[in-house]
Amino acid sequence: MSWDEQKSAAAANSSIKLSKDFVTVNGMKIYKQEAIDGSKGGTHKGCFLFLHGMKFTSNTWLELGTLNVAAHNGYKAVAVDLPGIVLKSHFFNIIQDYGNLFSGISFT
């Protein structure tokens, strides 16, 4: 199935529920958007976490149809707006900081 066909099928699925809210994780307020297929009774195959680049936001994934397509295919789709990255002297610090951040977001 092509991407356009998947987007059309997902758009036609009235069971997809989109939620948008702020969560506080490790003292930081993070905006997240989440899509799930409500017809699955709260169960899903797994979770996709969508991140964005410097010129984009979590809304980019919604506009592209990516969140809905993932939900339509049985996955929980979560897109977050990341706080700015302050330059670090060691790449590991960035990974560790975001690892701590994501530990506070529910993916189940």
DSSP string over 24-67: EETTEEEEEEEEEEGGGTT--S-EEEE---TT--HHHHHHHTHH
Q: Mind listing the pLDDT tens digit for each residue in 53-87?
A: 777 888 999 999 999 999 999 999 999 887 664 43
pTM value is 0.76
Residue 96 has pLDDT above 80, yes or no: no
Paired tokens of 66: 């990516």
What local confidence, expressed as pLDDT, does residue 107 receive?
60
6 by Cβ neighbours in 10 Å (0-12 / 13-18 / 19+) ranks as middle
End-to-end CA distance of the chain: 28
What local confidence, expressed as pLDDT, does residue 91 receive?
40
Confidence grade of residue 88 (pLDDT, cut at 50, 70, 90): very low
CATH 3.40.50.1820 matches 3-102: yes
Q: Smallest Cα–Cα separation from 79: which of 103, 101, 47?
A: 47
φ and ψ of 66, to 5 deg:
-65, -45
Confidence grade of residue 30 (pLDDT, cut at 50, 70, 90): confident
